[in-house]
Amino acid sequence: MKRLICESCGSTNIIRTDEYYVCQNCGTKHINDSDNKTTAVIDMSPFKDNALINARRARSIEDWEEAERYYDAVEMYSPQNAEAVFYSAYAKAKTALMVYDYGTKDALRIFARDIGFIDEKYTPTDIDAHISLLEDMSKDIRILCERRILDDESIIDLFKAIHKAFCLMLGHIIDSRQYDRYLARLYSMQVKHLEAMIRYGLDAAERSEILEKLEAVHQNWHRIDPMHSFSGFDAYNAQSAEDSSEDYVYTPDKDLSAPKTEGAPKNTRFATIVFSIILVIYIFLLFASIASEAFNSADMVFYVFPGLILLIIIANLKT
């Protein structure tokens, strides 16, 4: 058998593994074909990891041209990377909006299209991390589309298309049933993007469609969290007049629906549990006293009135 030679460093110190012939001098992996010829296999994982680090750094300082370049490199070697798929197109759209030339609309169209590929290309292995990534995407979309370009309604239509594509993608993720622990966070994102579409102004048919979707999302949210409630569409109807202002600027995190959660839900539930436990203890002590020979009418007053007060407190916490 002909001695194998490393194509990278020329060493002949090559050992066969299960999949490759590995050079012990430089670490280059080779494939050996039927003619006893070797072909170097380049491991791009270090390059991909470095590109992802550089892409995130560029994104954090809003250097969108650099972010686009590095995310493109990550996507080239890892086409299933949801972050790279999203932010390579996002960076291009962000740069195009800052320049605002003939290529701006094309960049926004590509971005709206690529959003739809995220859930198709990505199979989550760490759902916690993926939910956090989706929330970052949601926030960045609302920042991208936050200001109207008053002289170009077609840009506004593209902003609507971006919000709609992200909502649709979230719907597919919800339907996959892999994220049931995170439904409230997914519904919250959907509400914000549907509200954003209303802020841009819609015709009667579009508005009716979006309001219907909003109501459905709030109902689904209420099913998994009874403490969540929707105050109705009055806030949205009132927004119509505000939308007509020429000086209107979209504020991404402004809450139009004002869904009521009855104060602070977690604190309320905790307080209800605590007072319920105290009430149970009172009832136990009451029956213990009644069973004893020393119980009298004065003891009844001592135990009953605090119990009634506790019942009133618990009832107010639940309403």
What is the DSSP pairing of strand 14-16 with strand 29-32? unpaired
Task: Identify whether residues 305 and 220 lie together within a single domain.
Answer: no
Task: Identify whether residues 238 and 157 lie together within a single domain.
Answer: yes
The secondary structure element, H or E, covering residue 219 is helix 204-224
C-alpha Rg value of the chain to the nearest Å:
30
Task: Identify whether residues 29 and 81 lie together within a single domain.
Answer: no
SS3 for 31?
strand
- Confirm if 72 and 58 have CB atoms less than 8 A apart: no
Task: Identify whether residues 199 and 305 lie together within a single domain.
Answer: no
- Confirm if 238 and 207 have CB atoms less than 8 A apart: no
Task: Identify whether residues 94 and 167 lie together within a single domain.
Answer: yes
Phi/psi of residue 31, nearest 5 degrees:
-110, 135
Q: pTM for the whole thing?
A: 0.62
pLDDT of the residue at 254: 47
Domain containing residue 27: 1-43
SS3 for 5?
coil
- Confirm if 259 and 228 have CB atoms less than 8 A apart: yes
Cα 160–chain centre separation:
18
Task: Identify whether residues 275 and 204 lie together within a single domain.
Answer: no
* Tokens linked to 297: 């009418």
- Confirm if 116 and 89 have CB atoms less than 8 A apart: no
Is residue 250 included in any domain, yes or no? no
- Confirm if 80 and 48 have CB atoms less than 8 A apart: no
pLDDT of the residue at 92: 93
Residuewise pLDDT in 10s, the chain (319 residues): 466 777 656 677 777 776 677 777 656 676 666 555 555 455 556 677 888 999 999 999 999 999 999 999 888 878 788 899 899 999 999 998 887 777 888 999 999 998 987 777 666 678 888 899 999 999 999 999 875 554 578 888 899 999 999 999 999 888 887 788 899 999 999 999 998 888 877 788 888 898 899 989 998 998 888 888 776 565 555 554 444 433 333 344 444 444 444 444 556 666 777 767 777 777 777 677 666 656 566 666 666 666 667 677 766 665 5
CA distances from 75 to 82, 120, 195, 219, 305 (A): 9, 15, 31, 38, 69
Task: Identify whether residues 286 and 140 lie together within a single domain.
Answer: no
